[in-house]
Amino acid sequence: MENKRGSFGSKFGVVAAVAGSAVGLGNIWRFPYIAGENGGAVFIIVYLLICLLIAIPVMISEFAIGRHGRKNVMGSMRQVAKGKMWLSLGYLGVFAAVLILSFYSVIAGWTLNFIVESVKGFSGMDVTALTANFNGFVNSNEPIVWTLLFLALTAVIVLCGVEKGIERSSKIMMPMLVLMLLGMSIYSLFLPGFGEAFRFLFKPDFSKMTWDVVLQALGQSFFSMSVGMGTMITYGSYIKDKENLYGVGATVALSDVLIAFLAGVAIFPAVFTFGIAPTSGSELVFLTLPSVFSQIPAGQLLSFVFFVLLFFAAITSAISLLEVPVAYLTEEFNIKRKWAVVMGFVVIGALSVFCTLSLQDGSSLVVGGDSLFDFFDKFTSNIMLPVGGILVSVFVGWFMDKKLRYDQFTNQGQCAVKLYKFLVFLVKFVVPVAISILFISKNLF
Ligand code: TRP
């Protein structure tokens, strides 16, 4: 049984795969902008605290469920929990993965288009020309092709299996991503806008410290660390018994935060050098950056490198999302991996086509005033992930068998023993209470 299931082969492989899931579009285009707009260093301090006290404990809890259950989200919940109620976490996980991947592939598809565009070069195009170009692109049928191409590439990797597909591709792409990002950051150090960018990102502005900043930090940390749904349960089920779950969680969280910082350092100096306002996330990456790149030395090479690294970040996250329904289908319904991947591709592909169409001017694919794309984004991040986070922590804190939890958290008393009590305290009290307060205040006020 154990042999038939895949598993991550090496420690580096585990960290690469899990960090591959965590590090994604959330770090590179969302984090720098959100941090900048929410008080810079103030946001970063809150963010770090939330990662440490909330996101890491949830991640370890998810690993523990998956590693004990040794199954997909649903199967693992059935193994560790008594009663049907907890299976809701399994359904939530599979459903959330499908919805997230449906809108995620759209932006990831744009990055593919921009890799090609950057080879052609953006020279001579100012922001107005680029905006017209981008609007034309979004309103054409081209994004559908790129989105489906991206999903197909994701499907091919997932098809190759846990070790040969997911782990191997992450082991190649993650180090390359870090190298490219480091290269870009070093280049940015020499741009005149570096000082201003540094202040924007890291100078604390305490007047911006509001309740909303905390909410934003929570949402960002869950999305960025891929927690609150089935991804880390599924990946946890591929982690070998000898790995130290706390070590993996802490290493991944640190990499996730560092890469988000580096992304800010790589992007903003160029933006400030040209006195451009660091406006909204998607615009920043797909409009402002190309215009900046077209004006600086080696800009064409930089923009190519940037969009390739964005693509790497996106696809290593996308495979972790697709693996959730694929593992579910293969194990719960005895479907061959190949067909599970095909089914995932068809369903998510169809939804993602609707998401691309919903971004066109005058589209009627609107839910509650938001485009379908925005609706999926908000519904998953604001509702499904926090609810998932509460369910995971309440389950592991209060309902999971104590011995089983101890054995998973500490590898039968071999590691992280001193931290165990503190982690359990966080999982039992801090995580559910904090998320509930934030969740209720966010949805009611
Ligand atoms: N963490 C990824 C990012 O930062 C996105 C992602 C992958 C994700 N798997 C997830 C988000 C599971 C939430 C849940 O882009």
Q: Is residue 445 part of a domain?
A: no
Least confident of 4-8, 225-229, 350-354: 4-8
- Is residue 317 lining ligand 1, measured as CB closer than 6 Å? yes
Q: Residue 220 maps to which CATH number?
A: 1.10.4160.10
Which pLDDT tens digit goes with each residue over 351-383?
999 999 999 999 999 998 999 999 999 899 888
Q: Read off the pLDDT of residues 281-317 as tens digits, 9 standing for 90 and up.
A: 667 788 878 888 888 888 889 899 999 999 999 999 9
Looking at the domain assignment, is residue 420 inside a domain? no
Quote the pTM value.
0.95
- Looking at residue 274, its pLDDT comes to 79
The residues, ordered by sequence, that sit 6+ positions from 254 with a Cβ below 8 Å of its Cβ are none
Which structural domain range is residue 88 located in? 11-380
Let me know if residue 414 belongs to a domain.
no
pLDDT in the model for residue 331? 97
Task: Say what the pLDDT of residue 2 is.
Answer: 38
The answer to whether residue 248 is domain-embedded is yes
Q: Which residue among 222, 227, 317, 384 has the greatest number of ligand 1 atoms within 8 angstroms of its CB, and so is best to mutate?
A: 317
> Which of 242, 181, 179, 248 lies closest to 21 in space, CA to CA?
248
Higher pLDDT, 297 or 173: 173
Ligand 1 pocket, 424 CB below 6 A?
Answer: no
Relative to the CA of 23, which ligand 1 atom is closest? 4
For ligand 1, pick from 100, 173, 221, 376 the residue to mutate: most ligand atoms within 8 Å of CB. Answer: 100
Tell whether the model's pLDDT for residue 428 goes beyond 90.
yes
Q: Is residue 80 part of a domain?
A: yes
pLDDT of residue 1: 38
Q: pLDDT of 227-238, one tens digit each? A: 998 899 999 999
Task: With cut-offs at 50, 70 and 90, classify the pLDDT of residue 204.
Answer: confident
Q: Using one digit for the tens of pLDDT, what is the confidence trace for 51-100?
A: 999 999 999 999 999 999 999 999 999 999 988 899 999 999 999 999 99
pLDDT at 444 over 70: no
User: Rounded mean pLDDT of 178-184?
Assistant: 94
Mean pLDDT for the chain? 92
Please report the pLDDT score of residue 281 as a whole number: 60
What is the distance between the alpha carbons of residues 203 and 328, in angstroms, rounded to a whole number?
45
Mean pLDDT of 183-208: 88
CA of 226 to the centre of ligand 1 (A): 4
Domain membership flag for residue 6 = no
- The answer to whether residue 145 is domain-embedded is yes
Number of domains the chain is built from:
1
pLDDT at 131 over 70: yes
Domain assignment present for 409:
no
